[in-house]
């Protein structure tokens, strides 16, 4: 194989990995949008909050330490023990479920039957509240997340791919980050689990029923409030997975909430209502922006990754507004 072709394959592989990371974030949006018609602006911040909580538990940080110190004049910051990653993850998940219950009690319950735009505004408020709350609870310093996952390039893969090049050519093998591979596998498992859940369980069927027609769902005895808690808890789980993967990759800091912005073009591409759409859309954006950067970037001075996704999304909005996999609107008179 020629070096050029191998380089292209490497770019595509890395694009797919990045794309899956985008998909993870987009998935949270899709879940809530499908179940309640709400575009949850707070999804990115939920990822940040979940990641902060995970790191906080793992490193044995005392929640609200700053606040306690300020009020009581003490100087506490850590409990002095650390938690294994798996236990910390479970605790963080519990916090996200609790968060779902609180959101339902304090916000959604009171906004039943309001216009979607009002619910959207509520999620904007929620996003900023949660950002401040996360700051108050865990502090605003940048934290490193160490889940014990291997990081860095895979030497094995590099060695294997080195032999693919023609004899005597100057090729050093492909670089693939192991963490990216793990993140992609986790994402795939998550999607499979979610699909099985929504397709084959009673609650999953009820989730889809509510997404279709919440009035009819009410009439057959499905409790909307319970379904909302379930949806937000699942979105919290997805946020936790996305937050911990992104956190492990680039540290847990407040700019983590901005990954939500990367999910928007993914949603426009894949459709707001389709889980497979979020996955495929993410991969297309990932691969597309890497390939574009690799081939066209040098001609225009680089830094195309920042805007390529949005331009692609715009093109899609013009030609296929419901996205690649968005629900076709079924209507019969």
Binding site for another protein (CB under 8 A): 112-113, 202, 205-206, 208-209, 211-223, 327, 330-333
> Least distance to another protein from the beta carbon of 219, Å?
5
> Least distance to another protein from the beta carbon of 222, Å?
5
> Least distance to another protein from the beta carbon of 34, Å?
10
Please give the backbone phi and psi of residue 40, each rounded to the nearest 5 degrees, phi first.
Answer: -85, 95
> Least distance to another protein from the beta carbon of 216, Å?
4
Between 41 and 228, CB nearer to another protein: 228
CB contact burial 143-155 (16+ within 10 A = b; e otherwise): bebebebeeeebe
Between 112 and 166, CB nearer to another protein: 112
Using a CB cutoff of 8 Å and minimum separation of 24, what contacts does 153-161 make?
A: 153/177, 153/178, 154/178, 154/181, 161/6, 161/10
Between 163 and 215, CB nearer to another protein: 215
Q: Which residues make Cβ contacts (< 8 Å) with residue 292, sequence separation at least 6?
A: 304, 305, 308
Between 227 and 284, CB nearer to another protein: 227
> Least distance to another protein from the beta carbon of 99, Å?
24
Between 218 and 261, CB nearer to another protein: 218
C-alpha span between 217 and 81 (Å, rounded):
47
Instruction: Assess contact for 250 and 55: CB atoms under 8 A.
Output: no
Instruction: Assess contact for 293 and 309: CB atoms under 8 A.
Output: no
> Least distance to another protein from the beta carbon of 38, Å?
16
Between 81 and 110, CB nearer to another protein: 110
C-alpha span between 14 and 239 (Å, rounded):
22
Please choose, from the candidates 202, 234, 200, the residue with its C-alpha nearest in 3D space to the C-alpha of residue 36: 234
């Amino acid at each position: 194989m020629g070096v050029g072709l191998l380089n292209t394959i490497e770019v595509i592989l890395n694009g797919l990995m990045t794309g899956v990371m985008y998909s993870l974030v987009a998935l949270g949006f899709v879940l809530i949008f499908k179940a309640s018609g709400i575009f949850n602006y707070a999804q990115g911040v939920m990822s940040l909050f979940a990641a902060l909580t995970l790191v906080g538990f793992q490193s044995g940080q005392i929640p609200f330490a700053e606040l306690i110190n300020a009020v009581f004049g003490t100087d506490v910051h850590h409990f002095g023990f650390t938690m294994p990653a798996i236990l910390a993850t479970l605790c963080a998940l519990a916090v996200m479920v609790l968060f779902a219950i609180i959101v339902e009690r304090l916000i959604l319950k009171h906004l039943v039957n309001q216009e979607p735009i009002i619910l959207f505004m509520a999620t904007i408020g929620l996003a900023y509240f949660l950002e401040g709350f996360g700051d108050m609870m865990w502090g605003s310093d940048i934290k490193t997340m160490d889940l014990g996952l291997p990081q860095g390039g895979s030497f094995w893969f590099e060695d294997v791919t080195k032999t693919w090049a023609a004899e005597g050519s100057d090729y050093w093998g492909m670089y693939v980050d192991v963490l990216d591979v793990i993140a992609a596998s986790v994402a795939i498992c998550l999607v499979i689990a979610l699909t099985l859940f929504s397709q084959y369980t009673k609650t999953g069927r009820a989730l889809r029923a509510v997404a279709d027609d919440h009035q009819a769902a009410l009439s057959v005895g499905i409790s909307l409030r319970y379904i909302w808690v379930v949806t937000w808890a699942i979105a919290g789980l997805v946020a936790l997975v996305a937050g911990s993967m992104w956190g492990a990759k680039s540290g847990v800091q407040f700019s983590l909430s901005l990954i939500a912005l990367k999910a928007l073009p993914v949603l426009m591409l894949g459709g707001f209502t389709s889980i497979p759409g979020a996955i495929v859309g993410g991969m297309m954006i990932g691969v597309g922006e890497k390939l574009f950067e690799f081939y066209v970037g040098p001609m225009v001075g680089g830094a195309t990754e920042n805007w390529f996704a949005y331009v692609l999304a715009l093109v899609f909005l013009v030609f296929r507004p419901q996205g690649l996999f968005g629900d076709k609107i079924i209507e019969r008179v």
